[in-house]
Each structure stands twice: as C-alpha cells, then as structure tokens.
Chain A
Amino acid sequence: MKKVCGIFFMLALVLGLAACSGDSDEAEGSSNSDSEGGDSANTVEIFSWWTGAGEEDGLLALIDLFEKENPDITIENAAVAGGAGTNAKAVLATRMEGNDPPSTFQVHGGDELNEGWVAADKMQPLNDLYEENGWQDKFPQELIDLVSKDGDIYSVPVNIHRGNVFFYNKKVFKDNGIEEPETFEEFFAASEKLQEAGVVPVALGDKNSWPATQIFENVLLGVLGPDDYKKLFEGEIPFDDERVVEAAETFGKILDHINEDHAARNWQDSAQLVANGEAAMLNMGDWAKGYFVNDLEMETGEDFGYFEFPGTKGEFQVITDTFGLPKDIDNEDQVEKFLTFLGSTEAQDVFNPLKGSIPARTDADESEYDAYGKEAMKDFGESRLVPSLAHGSAASAGFLTKANQAVNIFVTQRDVDNFIQALKDASSDM
C-alpha cells in the first residue's frame, strides 16, 4: 500500500510540475532578454507578441536575414506569448515605466502608438529615416498618417491585416444557393435563408470581446463611410448621432444570427464552426485566412471564400504592426539600421508571406504572395484606409476597454439606448 501511495504522490508532483512549466516557458522570452540584453550596444532587442506558427517563422526569417547582412549586430528576440498581445503589452508597460525600454517593439499603428507611447513622450520621431529612405511615397499617405502625431512620424509599418472581411464556407453557400452579399439587405436575406436551412449564419467567438467589437466597427464603417467613421473617433461626430444608433441596431440584427455558444469560443473556435459547415460566415481579420489554410487545411477559393463586410467595398479596415524608436536607449544607430531594414521591400517580402499578411509598402513583390494576398494588396493600394477600433488604432486603450465592455453587455442585453449612452460616456476618454 505504501508503495502505491508513493507512486501516486510522485505522479501528483509530476503533474504539478508540468502545470507550472507551461507558465515558465512563456516567461522565458522576457527573462532571457533581461539578463543578456541592454548592456551591449551591438545587440538590438526586438520585442513583440509574434509567437504563433506563421508569425514566429516570419520573425525568425527576418532576424536571420538581418544578421546575415549585418554580422556585427546581434538581434535578440524578446517575444512574449499569450493573450493576442495582452501579456506582451503588460510586460512592455512595466518595462517602459521602469525606464528599461526594449530597442524596438511591436505596436499597432494609430492611437495605441500615438495616444499611448508618443503621448507619454517615450518615442523619437523618425522623419529623417523616412526622408533618407524615400519612404514618404512608398507607404500610402493614410497609413503614414496613422503612425504620425502633430506632423512627426513615429514608427515603421511592417505588415498589414484587413479587418472588414467576411470568410464563408463555399459549400454551405452553394448548397443554399447564396451569392456573396454586398449590402446589408442582401446580407440579412442570406442570413434568414441560412437560418431556415438550419445553418448558423454568422459564427462568433467572443470569449474575449474584441471579435464582437470588430463586427460593430465594421457596421459603423459600412453605415458612416470612411470620412465620417474617422470623424466619429476624432470626436467630431457624437456617439448619439442617428447613424451610430442605426449602426447599433444593425449590429444587434447581426447578433440575432450568431451561434448560441459564442461566449464559450475564441475566434479560432468560431472559425472551426465555419470550417465544418455548422456556420456559414465569419467576420474576422484576414489572419483567419492563415488559420483556415495552415491549421484547418482548407483551400482558398475552393473550400472557403471571402467578401468585404457589407457596405465597405473600397474601404480597408487597417490593422498594422509597426516598430518605432524609443527614447533612452543606448544603441540608436543600430536600431535605426534595423528599422531601415524593416521598412525595406526585401524584409517585408520575407516576413509577410510567412505571417500571411501583406506588406505595408505598395511597391512590394506581388509574386511572393498567394491569391488572397495579391487581391488584398491590390485593394490596399486602391482603397480608403481606416483605423480599426477593436485593435487599438482608432481610439485610446482606455476608450477601447470601455467600448469592449459596452459591446459585451450589448451582445446579451441588446439595449441600444444603454449601449449608445455607454459609448457616449466613454468618449471623453477617447
């Protein structure tokens, strides 16, 4: 009996240890960098949350290429995993407050950069770098605006994802005789038809509330159009504008067509609903394409298709990862060299095909990208670009957190007046 007990005790210990080691793996990236980085001027530390399958490959390929070209500089990968960047942002905030900034770090263009680190006076302008490299006309003007504050440019965009895309299961659409909808009327007509056929029209996984917020921002874009959408987040149009109310009502109508267990799913779980035909459509940033192709082994254009969010044709909800130059670092020259590299077509064409995003430059090599990428690149060059709310570009983090809360309540309660009031109350934080 004693022996059996002993064995069980050991087992319990092992289980406990296994449970702990998961955490320590994640922490490793940052602790390594603390001990090694910083002291050597020839080490550039790149801080990101690129730890997923494709994006990590992209990042490592970038580092390899740069180190080959600049043998005297070592790049240190200080990626922090987990929470779609939330964990990384918490670590970053702690390091910045403690005046121990990484050499350069991943930050979404827009208010996450401008109202966050730039407003906190932690970043250096990069106007000279842009001039030296002639980047002013290589990146679209609306994108440069997104990384600028008061006329100064603060970061280098590396990749672009698009937020206003609906992915759909081609077989389900075909079986039910549905065409890609372009307007809200067509969209809701299709949804009714699907619902009657016993298919969930729209898959949603809002265990974290941003996927729901993402739907709402796309409805706002569809209803307001790009100019007024931007004005809304610049505070020039109030949140109780009747078109915002209309958008909230449309948002509610979309929520009438979602899967019941949405609160138990994250976005990948909701993508699976579309993949196995239980649901028809999914509004998700186009990183979902990578998930469909690589993880669920579906073929673009064969098994799944995509269309712009209703009412947003010719508009491009931009999510861009950018890298800037923090103040108080002792290896500025090396970091500028690295930033120059990140802004080159060479680097962008190495990174983006692996990550499944498209380059931020408009003169990149199209042949490196798949069919979806080519199409997205074309749209990116021709469309109006607007900043995403759900990904921190359109408004400050404080407003976003409150907007996410308001959306989370609205998804259950569907009280338009309350929702509008909550957004209006929060808009002072914008």
Chain B
Amino acid sequence: MELAEHKKRNRRKMTKDHWTAVAFLIPSVILILIFVYGFIAWTGYVSVSNWSTLVPDFSFAGLQNYISLFQDYRFQSDLRNTIFFTIFFIGLVIVMGLGLGILIDQKLKGESLFRNIFLFPMALSFIVTGVVWQWLLNPSTGFNQFLKFFGITPKWYTDTNILAGFEWGQIEFGVPVAIIAVVIAAAWQMTGFSLAMYLAGLRGVPDELREAARMDGASEFQIYRKVVIPMLMPITVSVIIIMAHMSLKIFDLIYAMTGSGANFVTDVPAVYMYETTFKGNNYANGAAIAIIMLLVVAVFIVPYLWNSRKGDH
C-alpha cells in the first residue's frame, strides 16, 4: 500500500521532466517511424508486387518473387557464399582478435603502438580495402609475384572451384575457394575491432582470479582456457552479433574487390539486389531480396536484443 503510494507520488513528481523528454524524443521517433519502419513496410509491399520494369506495377504477385528467387541459380549461390563468408569471417576475426589481444595484454613495451597498428585498417572504408586487396590478391600481380618463387600460385578470388561440393538445388553446395580471398580482406579490416573489444575484456579480468588459479597450480594455458576465455564470453557474443550483421549485409567490399565473380563464386545478396534493381529495373525482385536479408539479419539480432532487454530489468 505504502509502496504504491510512493510510486504514485514519484510518478507525479516526474511528470514535468517526463514530458520534456517525450517532447524531445517525438521528432526522432516520427522520423524513424517514417524513414525506417515506413520504408521497410513499403519494401515489403513492393516485394509482393509485379513491379519489374521502369513502370511501377503494384498488382499483387503473391510470393512469386520469393519463389523464383529461391529457384534462381544466382540467389542460391548468394546464400551459399553468404553462409561460408559469415562463418569464416567471424571465426577468423574472433581467433585473430583474441590472439592479438592476449599478446598485447602481456604488458609489453610499445603496447599502444601495436594496438594502433592493428586498429588502423578500421579507419578505412570497405571500398578502399576492396580496391587494395583486389590488387594484392590479383592472381597475376600482387602476392603471387612473390609466391611464385615457391611454386605456389593460388588463383585467389578468380578460383571457381567449390570444395567438398555436392549438388544442391541448381548449384554445387560447398566452400567456394574464391570467398576465402574476400574473407582475408574483410578480416584484415575488422580484426582491429574485435581486438579492441577483447583487450577491454581482458583488462576487466581481475588479477586476483589469475593469481588464485596460479596458486591452484594451473598452467598459463589452463588459466586462459578455463578462466579468462570463459569470462570473455559476453564479449565474444557481442563480436559475433556485430560481425554477423555486417557480413550478412556486406556489399561495398565485394563490389569494389571482386564483383559477382566468375560463376557467381563471390556474389552476395546485396550485390544481386543492387544489380537487379538498378540495372535490371526489377524492383519487386530487389525488394524481395532486401526483405530476405532483413529476415536473416533479424534471426541474429532479435534474440540478442531480447536478451539484453531482459538484462536491463
């Protein structure tokens, strides 16, 4: 009873501040409602229409655009590429970020110099990274000029082989070798980010814990494996979420570096979306790809948001 009374009084007291806050929030809420959610709804509407030329045609097509996409050779290739790109990219970024983070955390001299060097690539735009790595991994220039002395000349992003492939739908499902070149470029750029995250996390692991483990006779390796890395779990989850939504939507790096690639070995949904919409004028098809991408990203993001919301309470 008393508690309720207190709450009530509290709410009344808050009223003025409360309304000021709401007043400040309303414009941005309205803008976001229109320009984010409104246009998502609009895209959804276009994706079930027949708008496939420059002439808008909003007649209802049902799920036809989605069905034809999933039967499409190029889109199936895109899904395959996105899956493997995401897995390799996140894996590499986590392993490299954690590894470098642990090395830098050894209180070595010139620590901040190394930290900055590893953080640099993040300051570049993906377009720059794409152009640079396009030349570095070009099979006839770049690294191969050096590697050929050892008798190895990988074809990098022009390789059309699919490793461990098997027939799936219209395509061969397996690891496209060419995507590895793109993964290297993407990981080069984003490792600095996970390094920074892990470094912050490592600094948060209390020395007492390590000390205690050491007293119990754990080796350095065991300390990391059993104490430190499990404590970094929340950071790993954050890195996975952030990298996943980046890699599932990737466009600029691929577009600048390789394009669709021979036989679509480096194509991704975002590139297909851009080309079918603005080159082929097939707006309904492009909208359908956009919605599918949104759903795929949502699969990662929504549970995360849900979780962190629960954490707040």
Interface residues of chain A, those whose CB is within 8 Å of chain B, are 1, 4-5, 8-9, 11-13, 15-16, 19-20, 22-23, 86, 89-90, 93, 96-97, 115-117, 119-122, 206-209, 260-264, 396-398, 400-402, 405, 408-409, 411-413, 422, 429
Contact = CB atoms under 8 A, between A and B. Distances in A.
Interface residues of B, number: 42
Contact of B53 (A23, A262, A396): A396
A89 B123 contact: no
Contact of B263 (A11, A20, A396, A409): A409
Contact of B113 (A8, A19, A264, A401): A8
CB-based closest 4 A-B pairs? A401-B280, A412-B263, A263-B262, A90-B278
B110 A261 contact: no
A242 B102 CA distance: 65
A16 B116 contact: no
Given A401-B280, A405-B74, A413-B263, A22 B127 contact: yes
A261 B281 contact: no
A392 B112 CA distance: 54
Contact of B127 (A23, A263, A398): A23
A402 B280 contact: yes
Grouping DSSP codes into helix (H, G, I), strand (E, B) and loop, the A interface class, with mixed when no group exceeds half, is helix
Contacts of A119: 53-55
Contact of B281 (A4, A8, A23, A116): A116
Contact of B259 (A16, A23, A208, A412): A208
Given A1-B110, A12-B116, A12-B119, A93 B54 contact: yes
A16 B119 contact: no
Contact of B112 (A5, A96, A120): A5
Contact of A412 (B110, B134, B139, B262): B262
A161 B280 CA distance: 23
Contact of A398 (B156, B157, B258, B280): B280
Contact of A264 (B110, B124, B158, B281): B158
A401 B259 contact: no
A261 B158 contact: yes
A397 B139 contact: no
A119 to B, nearest CB: 6
A9, A120, A409 pick with most chain B CB within 10 angstroms: A409
Interface in B26-74: 52-56, 73-74
Contacts of A121: 55
Contact of B160 (A8, A97, A400, A412): A412
A86 B279 contact: yes
A12 B120 contact: yes
Contacts of A89: 278-279
Contacts of B140: 261, 264
Given A23-B125, A120-B54, A208-B259, 19 more contacts: A4-B113, A11-B120, A15-B123, A16-B125, A86-B278, A90-B278, A121-B55, A207-B259, A260-B139, A260-B158, A262-B158, A263-B262, A264-B258, A397-B280, A398-B53, A401-B275, A405-B73, A411-B263, A422-B73
Nearest to B52: A398
A263 B158 contact: yes
A5 B111 CA distance: 10
Contacts of A411: 262-263
B260 interface: yes
B124 A19 contact: yes
B54 A16 contact: no
B138 interface: yes
B174 interface: no
27 contacts: A1-B110, A1-B113, A4-B113, A5-B112, A5-B113, A8-B113, A11-B120, A19-B123, A19-B125, A19-B127, A22-B128, A86-B279, A90-B278, A116-B54, A120-B55, A122-B54, A207-B259, A260-B155, A261-B138, A264-B138, A264-B139, A396-B281, A397-B280, A398-B282, A402-B280, A412-B262, A429-B52
Contacts of A11: 120
Interface in B112-169: 112-113, 116-117, 119-120, 123-125, 127-128, 134, 138-140, 155-158, 160
A15 B110 contact: no
B263 A408 contact: yes
A93 B278 contact: yes
A15 B261 contact: no
Given A119-B53, A396-B53, A13 B123 contact: yes
A402 B116 CA distance: 46
Given A86-B278, A120-B55, A396-B53, A409 B116 contact: no
B264 interface: yes
B236 interface: no
A16 B124 contact: yes
A262 B276 contact: no
Nearest to B282: A398
A115 B53 contact: yes
Contacts of B124: 15-16, 19
B116 A8 contact: yes
Nearest to B278: A90
Nearest to A392: B279
A413 B158 CA distance: 14
A408 B54 contact: no
A30 to B, nearest CB: 14
Contacts of A86: 278-279
Nearest to A399: B280
Given A86-B279, A119-B54, A401-B280, A5 B263 contact: no
